Amino acid sequence: MSTPPLAASGMAPGPFGGPQAQQAAREVNTASLCRIGQETVQDIVYRTMEIFQLLRNMQLPNGVTYHTGTYQDRLAKLQDHLRQLSILFRKLRLVYDKCNENCGGMDPIPVEQLIPYVEEDGSKNDDRAGPPRFASEERREIAEVNKKLKQKNQQLKQIMDQLRNLIWDINAMLAMRN
């Protein structure tokens, strides 16, 4: 997997070679920066997996000249992968810094506002419909309703127990009279 370069090397793409084209080639929007960052992370993971594969297959030198050549080849590959991994991490840092620079003026949106919910009538919440309700408010309301429901259930249970006792007493009195 290879990733495209972060900035142009001074040559403008296409037939236009003016300074405006070079400026446009160097300016990369945040979405493409995120894509480049994602590809860089994928490259880092791939290289790391290759490094672990090399380390698993590598045997430590034990003084035998039989495996020295193979060991040196694998060591060279490992050092090359580590060097490339270091370059990828530097590239990722550049992309991260550039994304933060581009997003510096944006106001962060609270996570609670990004969570959609369905109202009682089944319609989805729209920003046009009114102020958004936060997930924490929903959770608190649900907890209150559950508490009230448990209280009502307890009251109903007490009433049922009283009715059962009353019916038991009535049946006992009827049985005594017979």
- pLDDT tens profile 39-70: 999 999 999 999 998 888 776 656 555 567 77
Tokens encoding 113: 């506002």
pLDDT at position 12: 40
pLDDT at position 160: 95
pLDDT at position 82: 93
Q: What is the DSSP string of 77-127?
A: HHHHHHHHHHHHHHHHHHHHHHHHHHTTTSPPPPHHHH---B-TTSPBP-G
Q: How far lies 18's CA from each of 28, 29, 71, in Å?
A: 18, 20, 52
pLDDT at position 93: 95
pLDDT band at 25 (very low <50, low <70, confident <90, very high): very low
pTM attached to this predicted model:
0.45
Mean pLDDT confidence for 96-110: 80
